Amino acid sequence: MLRGFTTVTFFAEDLDAARAWYTTVFRAEPYFVREGAYLEWRAGDYQHEFGVLNARFAPHPHGSQPAGAIIYWAVDDVEGAYRRLLDLGATEHGKPTERGPGYVTASVLDPFGNILGVMANQHYQDVYDRTRAVGRP
Protein backbone atom coordinates (compact mmCIF):
# COMPACT_ATOMS: atom_id res chain seq x y z
CA MET A 1 0.00 0.00 0.00
CA LEU A 2 1.28 3.45 -0.87
CA ARG A 3 1.38 5.64 2.22
CA GLY A 4 2.49 9.00 0.84
CA PHE A 5 5.48 10.80 -0.57
CA THR A 6 8.82 10.51 1.20
CA THR A 7 11.48 12.30 -0.82
CA VAL A 8 11.20 14.38 -3.97
CA THR A 9 14.45 14.44 -5.94
CA PHE A 10 15.44 17.03 -8.52
CA PHE A 11 18.66 17.14 -10.56
CA ALA A 12 21.24 19.90 -11.10
CA GLU A 13 24.51 20.05 -12.97
CA ASP A 14 25.80 22.78 -10.64
CA LEU A 15 25.19 21.48 -7.12
CA ASP A 16 26.74 24.55 -5.48
CA ALA A 17 24.34 26.85 -7.33
CA ALA A 18 21.44 24.53 -6.48
CA ARG A 19 22.43 24.58 -2.82
CA ALA A 20 22.51 28.38 -2.75
CA TRP A 21 19.21 28.74 -4.61
CA TYR A 22 17.21 26.18 -2.61
CA THR A 23 18.71 27.37 0.67
CA THR A 24 17.18 30.74 -0.20
CA VAL A 25 13.87 29.15 -1.27
CA PHE A 26 13.54 27.06 1.92
CA ARG A 27 15.23 29.67 4.13
CA ALA A 28 17.39 26.87 5.58
CA GLU A 29 20.58 25.00 4.80
CA PRO A 30 20.27 21.37 3.72
CA TYR A 31 20.28 19.02 6.72
CA PHE A 32 21.97 16.21 4.74
CA VAL A 33 24.90 16.69 2.35
CA ARG A 34 27.02 14.28 0.32
CA GLU A 35 29.59 16.66 -1.17
CA GLY A 36 29.47 16.72 -4.95
CA ALA A 37 26.58 14.27 -5.09
CA TYR A 38 23.45 15.05 -3.09
CA LEU A 39 21.71 17.66 -0.92
CA GLU A 40 18.55 17.26 1.12
CA TRP A 41 16.25 19.64 2.97
CA ARG A 42 13.21 19.06 5.15
CA ALA A 43 10.45 21.53 4.46
CA GLY A 44 6.79 22.19 5.05
CA ASP A 45 4.22 21.27 7.65
CA TYR A 46 5.21 17.59 7.69
CA GLN A 47 8.94 18.08 7.06
CA HIS A 48 8.81 16.49 3.61
CA GLU A 49 12.21 15.64 2.18
CA PHE A 50 13.42 17.50 -0.90
CA GLY A 51 16.66 16.36 -2.50
CA VAL A 52 18.89 17.62 -5.29
CA LEU A 53 21.10 15.00 -6.92
CA ASN A 54 24.06 15.83 -9.12
CA ALA A 55 22.80 15.48 -12.72
CA ARG A 56 25.65 13.13 -13.57
CA PHE A 57 23.75 10.49 -11.55
CA ALA A 58 20.47 11.07 -13.42
CA PRO A 59 18.99 7.90 -14.90
CA HIS A 60 18.61 9.60 -18.31
CA PRO A 61 20.64 12.39 -19.91
CA HIS A 62 19.10 15.82 -19.46
CA GLY A 63 18.10 17.75 -22.53
CA SER A 64 17.01 21.33 -22.66
CA GLN A 65 13.38 20.45 -21.84
CA PRO A 66 12.14 19.87 -18.29
CA ALA A 67 11.15 16.30 -17.57
CA GLY A 68 9.44 14.32 -14.86
CA ALA A 69 6.44 14.87 -12.68
CA ILE A 70 5.41 18.19 -11.20
CA ILE A 71 5.47 18.05 -7.42
CA TYR A 72 3.21 20.71 -5.96
CA TRP A 73 4.08 22.23 -2.57
CA ALA A 74 1.15 23.47 -0.52
CA VAL A 75 1.29 27.23 0.06
CA ASP A 76 -1.12 29.75 1.56
CA ASP A 77 -0.55 32.37 -1.16
CA VAL A 78 0.03 30.92 -4.64
CA GLU A 79 0.54 34.30 -6.33
CA GLY A 80 3.02 35.41 -3.64
CA ALA A 81 4.97 32.13 -3.72
CA TYR A 82 5.03 32.17 -7.54
CA ARG A 83 6.31 35.77 -7.64
CA ARG A 84 8.96 35.01 -5.00
CA LEU A 85 10.29 32.06 -7.02
CA LEU A 86 10.44 34.23 -10.15
CA ASP A 87 12.23 36.96 -8.16
CA LEU A 88 14.77 34.34 -7.05
CA GLY A 89 15.61 33.48 -10.67
CA ALA A 90 13.10 30.82 -11.68
CA THR A 91 11.31 31.19 -15.01
CA GLU A 92 7.62 30.94 -15.79
CA HIS A 93 6.19 27.51 -16.50
CA GLY A 94 2.52 27.83 -15.56
CA LYS A 95 0.92 31.05 -14.32
CA PRO A 96 -1.38 30.90 -11.28
CA THR A 97 -4.59 29.23 -12.43
CA GLU A 98 -7.75 28.33 -10.52
CA ARG A 99 -8.49 24.64 -11.11
CA GLY A 100 -11.73 24.65 -9.14
CA PRO A 101 -13.04 26.05 -5.85
CA GLY A 102 -10.18 25.91 -3.34
CA TYR A 103 -7.58 24.72 -5.87
CA VAL A 104 -5.06 27.08 -7.47
CA THR A 105 -1.79 25.97 -9.07
CA ALA A 106 1.31 27.64 -10.51
CA SER A 107 4.67 26.30 -11.60
CA VAL A 108 8.14 27.54 -12.46
CA LEU A 109 11.32 26.14 -13.91
CA ASP A 110 14.06 26.31 -11.31
CA PRO A 111 17.47 27.52 -12.55
CA PHE A 112 18.43 23.87 -13.12
CA GLY A 113 15.56 22.90 -15.46
CA ASN A 114 13.25 21.19 -12.97
CA ILE A 115 9.54 21.98 -12.70
CA LEU A 116 8.58 23.25 -9.24
CA GLY A 117 4.88 23.63 -8.47
CA VAL A 118 3.03 25.53 -5.76
CA MET A 119 -0.62 25.00 -4.93
CA ALA A 120 -3.45 26.12 -2.71
CA ASN A 121 -5.25 22.83 -2.15
CA GLN A 122 -8.42 22.66 -0.05
CA HIS A 123 -8.03 18.92 0.56
CA TYR A 124 -4.52 19.45 1.93
CA GLN A 125 -5.80 22.21 4.20
CA ASP A 126 -8.73 20.08 5.41
CA VAL A 127 -6.43 17.17 6.30
CA TYR A 128 -3.98 19.54 7.96
CA ASP A 129 -6.77 21.15 10.02
CA ARG A 130 -8.13 17.74 11.11
CA THR A 131 -4.72 16.47 12.22
CA ARG A 132 -4.05 19.67 14.14
CA ALA A 133 -7.47 19.39 15.83
CA VAL A 134 -6.63 15.94 17.22
CA GLY A 135 -3.19 17.01 18.36
CA ARG A 136 -1.07 15.37 15.67
CA PRO A 137 1.94 17.27 14.33
Domains located in the chain, CATH noted: 7-133 (3.10.180.10)
Q: Confidence band (pLDDT; 50, 70, 90) for 131?
A: confident
> How many CA within 13 A on the CB side of residue 110?
25
- Answer yes or no: are the C-beta atoms of 52 and 39 closer than 8 Å: yes
- Could you report the per-residue pLDDT of 41-87, keeping only the tens digit for each? 998 888 888 999 998 887 654 555 555 678 889 999 999 999 999 99
Is 92's pLDDT higher than 90?
yes
Phi, psi at 94, each rounded to 5°: -145, 115
Q: pTM for this structure?
A: 0.78
Q: How far apart are CA 132 and CA 112, in angstroms?
A: 36
| Section 1-30 average pLDDT | 88
Q: How far apart are CA 105 and CA 135, in angstroms?
A: 29
Q: Identify which has the larger pLDDT, 131 or 29.
A: 29
Strand partners of residue 38: 34, 53
Q: Confidence band (pLDDT; 50, 70, 90) for 19?
A: very high
pLDDT of residue 28: 96
Question: What's at 63, amino acid-wise?
Answer: G
Q: Confidence band (pLDDT; 50, 70, 90) for 17?
A: very high
Is 137's pLDDT higher than 70?
no
